[in-house]
Homo-oligomer: A and B are copies of this chain.
């Protein structure tokens, strides 16, 4: 996109490749950020450089879910929390919207979790493969 058109194939010159990687990685993350903001989309983006550096971008909610995965005690807290909306006193008609809201929140949480699971499983598979072939 610049002084000259380039073919989309691996750049063989190592330093040129490094420069292009830095520039395009920044561009890609910016585009991801813009898309998520403009269109209210949930996005997770992970980039491994050939040098092995990891770059990661995820919309905030995904990141939060990621953080929460760590400890079992926190896990239990989450489970207890998720009981509340329907185990309590939601029987009056006006509570319909509270229930609807809870369902929407839960649906969103599921989305984040599945994105996280997907990425985690995919990358672990590769990581394990890589180690296994050493």
Contact = CB atoms under 8 A, between A and B. Distances in A.
Nearest to A101: B86
A37 to B, nearest CB: 5
Nearest to A82: B107
A39 B61 contact: no
Given A38-B9, A50-B41, A86 B103 contact: yes
A122 B47 CA distance: 15
A31 B24 contact: yes
Contact of A128 (B8, B17, B43, B131): B131
A49 B31 CA distance: 15
Contact of A48 (B75, B79, B82, B115): B115
A108 B119 CA distance: 22
A67 interface: no
